[in-house]
Structure 1
């Protein structure tokens, strides 16, 4: 009887240890997944979701760039018209990016335009420093046309210098405003601008005053030399856009427009009827549409 009681106690101990061991393994998840994975312990070990890097609803906006962003010649001859700017303008006809993102009232107090007519990529770092001081949620960039629009093709900014200057500009922003988002618009298609504008006699007369001579000079000339000159400018613009895309891609808070501005098939209605070069109010509105679509798009 004593031996039977001893054997019974031994069997009971083994069974108890086995049950407790199995229960303990399930409580911490075990080596295999099971129903207990949804328990408190599993919830504690589940990584918390991180906020997306790109915010399509920034609280403020600063613009940098050249005469396009200043809306030069959009409203009157040889004058900036910042109220018609695609980036920060207040004109209802344009419905700027700032108005679309922030609303009319907030855009008036929380958007700033630091673009300068005639600016080149070398000037962008200084503008970025001004923009960064405002700690903007979003910075828009449109620059590069003046680097290609020179007195001659030899005077155009080299691709290497263009890259260095753009990198310096982004670094300037990041040093002061590391979390600011950046929307980069591609350089417009200057050859299409020549093709569209040359149909207007008045436009060609204005071009003779020295507007983008590397592309628009001798507008009616179709000889080999003129064709080669325009093709050289166009290739440089395409190279600039490649630089903008590559440099922007290295910054997780930078978004390039994918060439949307360059590829936009604008017509004479989108060109200023004073110089047939800069965007008209209608053209500024089209740029605002492109920018808003790209800034608010899901994904990259």
Structure 2
């Protein structure tokens, strides 16, 4: 009996050692000697060198008033223009020759957020690898403060536009520019007599109307527009953040301090050729930045 018990204890000891060895191997991932470098890292979601670009948005993306008064000038567009003075986002990403064949501009002067889903559908038909978005200024630039697009409607419009794109192109990337600081544009342009005359033709009346008025009502009106732009920019940033293949500029366009050289010398409100180049720089930095 004693001999049998000794043999039993010996067998149990061997089995216990084997179990410990197996457990130790599993805890180390199967082969504890395999270096971490052998594990293949996941592919990054964001591609900093897309092969095609489509642009959607409003007058800024159409180069409005950059070349001549009250006219589009898409060749100087920050997003897809061909002008060497601007070096648009498409040119910087693709090169000049390829950009001429692989970039498209579906922005429309006067467009608001409600127009974006339709523009996005047209852009998606080209199957671009990157869609550049700048929209929202016209939602604040209304005949009156009360006519500005409600924030909830603005959000619904942007979400609809993103759904439209994702339904057609689940993996296309999106760059979203913030809305410029309209109040700063007013403060810069109001010193120019020609600009103020052009403003009277209906350029952003909620902010630019009665440009020299500094009474309480005028200040309150401009402050209301400024707050609404901040709310729109928050929507653009939040909706974009929910999409793994969307990058916003983090407020860089809104923070950019447009000076007189960056404003149209026709209306002193829209970006000049130089201003378009600055927008292209901001977009390129965002698109090509390290994975965030």
Q: TM-score, normalised by structure 2?
A: 0.91
Q: Does residue 38 of the first structure (1) align with residue 38 of the second (2)?
A: no
> In the superposition, relative to structure 1, how do residues 24 and 262 fare at CA in structure 2: closer, same or farther (>3 Å)?
same
Deviations 1:245-277 (A, max 9, x none): 111111111111110000101101101101111
Name the structure 2 match of 1:100: 92
Name the structure 2 match of 1:217: 209
Name the structure 2 match of 1:174: 166
Q: Identify which range, 242-251 or 22-31, moves more after superposition.
A: 22-31
- Pick aligned residue for 2:113 from 86, 100, 121: 121
For 1:219 and 1:33, how far apart are their aligned partners in 2?
71
Task: Show structure 2 runs of 5+ residues with no match.
Answer: none
**Number of equivalenced pairs:** 288
Name the structure 2 match of 1:207: 199
Q: Secondary structure at the match of 2:25?
A: coil
8 Å contact 1:132–1:177 — kept in the other structure? yes
Q: Does residue 266 of the first structure (1) align with residue 258 of the second (2)?
A: yes
Q: Does residue 55 of the first structure (1) align with residue 50 of the second (2)?
A: no
Q: Does residue 83 of the first structure (1) align with residue 75 of the second (2)?
A: yes
Shift of 1:76: 1.5
5 Å-filtered alignment, 1:99-248, equals: 99-248=91-240
Q: Identify which range, 48-57 or 194-203, moves more after superposition.
A: 48-57
- Pick aligned residue for 2:249 from 245, 251, 257: 257
Q: Secondary structure at the match of 2:32?
A: helix
Query: For the aligned residues, what is the CA RMSD?
Result: 2.5
Deviations 1:26-84 (A, max 9, x none): 58852554994235xx99xx864221111111111100000100001111222111110
For 1:34 and 1:196, how far apart are their aligned partners in 2?
63
Shift of 1:24: 8.9
Task: Show structure 1 runs of 5+ residues with no match.
Answer: 1-5
8 Å contact 2:25–2:31 — kept in the other structure? no
8 Å contact 1:29–1:36 — kept in the other structure? no
For 1:34 and 1:80, how far apart are their aligned partners in 2?
62
Q: TM-score, normalised by structure 1?
A: 0.89
Which has the higher Rg, Structure 1 or Structure 2?
1
Moved over 4 A (4+): 20-29
8 Å contact 1:27–1:36 — kept in the other structure? no
For 1:95 and 1:64, how far apart are their aligned partners in 2?
18
Q: Secondary structure at the match of 2:222?
A: helix
> In the superposition, relative to structure 1, how do residues 186 and 32 fare at CA in structure 2: closer, same or farther (>3 Å)?
closer
8 Å contact 1:74–1:280 — kept in the other structure? yes
